[in-house]
Structure 1
Amino acid sequence: MKIRDLISFNSQLFARHRWRTGVLTFCIALGVLAVVVLVSLGESARRYVEQEFAMLGSNLLIVLPGKKQTSGGAIPFYGSTNRDLTLEDARRIAELPEVVRVAPIIAGSARASRQSLSRDAMVIGSTNDFVHARKLQFGSGTGLPADADRVYRQDAILGARLAQELFARQNPLGEMITLDGYRFRVVGVLADQGESLGLDLSNIILIPVKASEAVFNTQALFRLLIDISSVTDEQAVIDRIYALIKKRHQGEEDITIITQQAVMSAFNNIMYTLTGVVGLLAAISLLVAGILIMNLSLVSVQQRRQEIGLLKAIGASRRLITRLFVTESLMLVIAASVIGLALAQFLISTLALLVPAVPIYAPLWAHGAAFLVAVMTSMTFSYLPARQAANVAPIEVLQG
């Protein structure tokens, strides 16, 4: 029997058993769809964060107050220290020849008010170096004053959505707002840039870091963003910063310096593991589909014993009977996989339209892996029923 004959024979069989064919097709297609979509979402999340960090440049250091006490593990975002990181520390670090700019940060939540309107907002006290470090763009107005780290200035820069909510169609430049009782004059409005690394840039208020000391009643910095020269040995700069802080903090090396490479390495390790686990869980659905194929195929063998006996009686070999059942499963899984891949691509395209801020990426290897796993699962679980069909004794069946 030629391949063309096998395909024709199995096509007629599918037409006679529409319910069984439909159930198997649905299960396999669903498994393929789950593998592709879940793996694609994990890979998209990893690439999105990677792009966000790339926008900051490759020479950014993040300095946190407090020393990480354990080795290995996740990147710390808070440490434990008895000594605060201060503006004077930031100024001394900025004097290092390899340092291009230093952005000191004091951050917290405050109630922003204008006339009868008010709402909670994230307030960031910093300097214009923060604007450069985060690649912020202005819709109107100017940046913070040059002496934002030395003199109390009542200047504020609003995020785009916050400016719209507080001022509606009125031009906010030059107008006054109140932050927890402290008055500030609006000197700039950021362009609408959405979220970046978990920070909603359209809902922030940027004020001089010296003014933020008064608003939040603290001189302790939340962190430092340090931009270093691209031709500089990164580790050498880190060592110099540690040495400087140790000298200023009475011998205590009570800061933690994080590099972009360290953050991305830790994040990639997490995302690769998550993507693998999620992909494995999705692949279990293909395993379930394989078991279903085997069970329904075993039932099919029992129902078609007379047909199999007749084929063997007219000269069909055991090998041909095996090929007949294996080809049946192979045709079914290929058709179902194509349907699953098409549905997965449709769903991914729909998600890309619904969430344009996050680029949805569907790697080709996910499509190929899902297809291969589906085919291998189907072939594996269809072999036992095929062998059972091949072992049917024609005399017993025809006599029965």
Structure 2
Amino acid sequence: MDPLDACQLWFGALRGHRSRSAMLLLAIAIGVFAVTLLGGLGQGARAYVLGEFSLLGRDILIVLPGRNETTGGMPPITGMAPRPLTQADATALGRLPAVRRVAPLHAGQLEVSRDNRNRETLALGTTRAFFAIRQLHLAQGRALPELEPGQAEEVCVIGSRLRRDLFGNAPALGQWLRAGDRRFRVVGVLDERGESLGMDFSEALIIPVASAEVLFDRDGLFRVFVEVRGPSYMASARRQVLAALTERHQGEEDVTLLSQDSMLAAFDGILDGLTLALAGIAAISLLVAGILIMNVTWIAVLQRTAEIGLLKAIGASSAQVRLLFLGEAALLALLGAGLGLGLGELLLWVGRLASGLPLYAPWWARLGAPALALGAALLFAWLPANHAAAQAPVQALRPQGGR
């Protein structure tokens, strides 16, 4: 039996049993589609997280007030809040040997208005160093001025979308706006930039930290960003920051330090677990498809007993009969895998257009899913194919053999 004859037999069997073939194609396609789509979603989430934290920089430490904020523990049963971080704490951290610069941060929602236009926006109270630490670039004007600790000034930098909402096509630099019960003069407009680490800078109002304290009527800082002198200083900077704040807080270590590496490690562990869980679900679907292939192939062997006997009577060997059924299963697996892979890539492409996320199926999903589908098809079709190959021609040609 030459390869052309074998292909004609395979395609003829598929056309002769259209409903059965369609059912198997759908089962395999769903499994491959699940592997491709879920792998692409996991890869996209990983790339998005890496992109977000790459903006933070590897030389940055984020100091958060309280120890229970990231450990997942119960809040204090006394109901007392953790000791707040203050501007004095931030100033002390800026004097540490391993630290290059420090940016304290207040954050809150404020109503901002100009003339008859107003909107609710994110207000950030910080210093000039924040622009360098968070890699904020200006489209117009300048950043916040250098101010002494505790010095307030009625100036602000606004995001590009906030500028359009409040000023339209009119120039914004040098103009005044109202935030809460105070007025601020616009000295800069940020370049176009979307959301990063939960902050949408295109809609942000950035004011001096002392002005924010008065505006929000609170002393405790939301965060303190600490830039160390280089990656090699990270470990020593951690120790120095913890020691300095513990000493200032009467011997109590009541802050949490986050870095890009620690956040990436935490997210990486979560994403790895999700990827394994999703791969397990997809593998189960392919296993179910393989069992379905075995059952349907077994039924096909029983229904085609006379055909098997005829093939053996005209000289077909057991290996050729076995190849006939294995080839049908392999062809179904390849066609179903192609269908599932194409559908998965199509949905990922639509997702990229709709969300802007880097949703790309990883190479192991693109290669592994079809390979797994083919392997499952051949594995589960082997037993019925072997049964067909072992039949004797005379018994297979008996009338009762086909019943």
Q: Do they fold alike, i.e. is TM over 0.5?
A: yes
Aligned residue number for residue 125 of structure 1: 125
What SS does structure 1 have at the residue aligned with 2:156?
A: strand
Distance 1:148 1:80 in 2: 32
Q: Deviations over 1:158-189 (max 9, x none)?
A: 11112211222122222222222222222221
1:363 aligns with 2:362: yes
Distance 2:293 2:275 in 1: 27
Gaps in structure 2 of 5+ consecutive residues: none
Q: Is the 8 A contact 1:68 1:80 kept in 2?
A: no
Instruction: Give the CA deviation at 1:388.
Output: 3.4
Aligned residue number for residue 341 of structure 1: 341
1:97 aligns with 2:94: no
Q: Is the 8 A contact 1:294 1:385 kept in 2?
A: yes
Distance 1:143 1:181 in 2: 23
Q: Is the 8 A contact 2:65 2:256 kept in 1?
A: yes
What SS does structure 1 have at the residue aligned with 2:287?
A: helix
What SS does structure 1 have at the residue aligned with 2:31?
A: helix
Distance 1:182 1:274 in 2: 48
Instruction: Give the CA deviation at 1:397.
Output: 4.2
Instruction: Give the CA deviation at 1:90.
Output: 0.3
Q: Deviations over 1:322-368 (max 9, x none)?
A: 22111110122122223332333333333333333x22333212211
Give 1:366's aligned amino acid.
Answer: A
Aligned residue number for residue 351 of structure 2: 351
Give 1:143's aligned amino acid.
Answer: A
248-257 or 309-318: which moved more? 309-318
Q: Deviations over 1:302-331 (max 9, x none)?
A: 321221222233343443322211111012
Give 1:278's aligned amino acid.
Answer: L
Aligned residue number for residue 257 of structure 1: 257
Distance 1:3 1:328 in 2: 13
Aligned residue number for residue 213 of structure 1: 213
Aligned residue number for residue 185 of structure 2: 185
Aligned residue number for residue 29 of structure 1: 29
Aligned residue number for residue 398 of structure 1: 397
* TM-score of the superposed pair, with normalisation by structure 1: 0.91
1:374 aligns with 2:356: no
What SS does structure 2 have at the residue aligned with 1:63?
A: strand
Aligned residue number for residue 63 of structure 1: 63
What SS does structure 1 have at the residue aligned with 2:299?
A: helix
Distance 2:283 2:195 in 1: 33
Q: Is the 8 A contact 1:309 1:398 kept in 2?
A: yes
Instruction: Give the CA deviation at 1:378.
Output: 1.1
Distance 2:70 2:99 in 1: 28
Distance 2:278 2:120 in 1: 37
Q: Deviations over 1:258-280 (max 9, x none)?
A: 22111111110111111121222
Distance 2:45 2:149 in 1: 36
Give 1:8's aligned amino acid.
Answer: Q
Q: Is the 8 A contact 1:90 1:224 kept in 2?
A: yes
Gaps in structure 1 of 5+ consecutive residues: none
What SS does structure 2 have at the residue aligned with 1:233?
A: helix
Distance 1:166 1:281 in 2: 50
104-113 or 262-271: which moved more? 104-113
Q: Is the 8 A contact 1:67 1:80 kept in 2?
A: no
Aligned residue number for residue 158 of structure 2: 158
Distance 1:63 1:69, change over 3 A: closer
Aligned residue number for residue 281 of structure 1: 281
Q: Deviations over 1:279-320 (max 9, x none)?
A: 222333322322332232233223212212222333434433
330-339 or 32-41: which moved more? 330-339
Distance 1:379 1:80 in 2: 65
Give 1:255's aligned amino acid.
Answer: V
Q: Deviations over 1:138-174 (max 9, x none)?
A: 1212111211742111112211112211222122222
Instruction: Give the CA deviation at 1:33.
Output: 2.1
Q: Percent identity?
A: 40
Q: Is the 8 A contact 2:65 2:82 kept in 1?
A: no
Distance 2:169 2:288 in 1: 58
Q: Deviations over 1:50-83 (max 9, x none)?
A: 1221222211101111124997x79x9xx98542
Aligned residue number for residue 146 of structure 1: 146
Give 1:262's aligned amino acid.
Answer: S
Aligned residue number for residue 269 of structure 1: 269
Q: Deviations over 1:182-241 (max 9, x none)?
A: 222222211111122232221211111111111211100111111011164321121111
Q: Is the 8 A contact 1:26 1:336 kept in 2?
A: yes
Give 2:202's aligned amino acid.
Answer: S
What SS does structure 2 have at the residue aligned with 1:123?
A: strand
Distance 2:157 2:56 in 1: 20
Distance 1:128 1:164 in 2: 23
Distance 1:394 1:51 in 2: 65
Q: Is the 8 A contact 1:66 1:80 kept in 2?
A: no
Q: Is the 8 A contact 2:59 2:231 kept in 1?
A: no
Distance 1:246 1:92 in 2: 12
Distance 1:329 1:282, change over 3 A: same
Instruction: Give the CA deviation at 1:379.
Output: 1.4
What SS does structure 1 have at the residue aligned with 2:145?
A: coil
* TM-score of the superposed pair, with normalisation by structure 2: 0.90
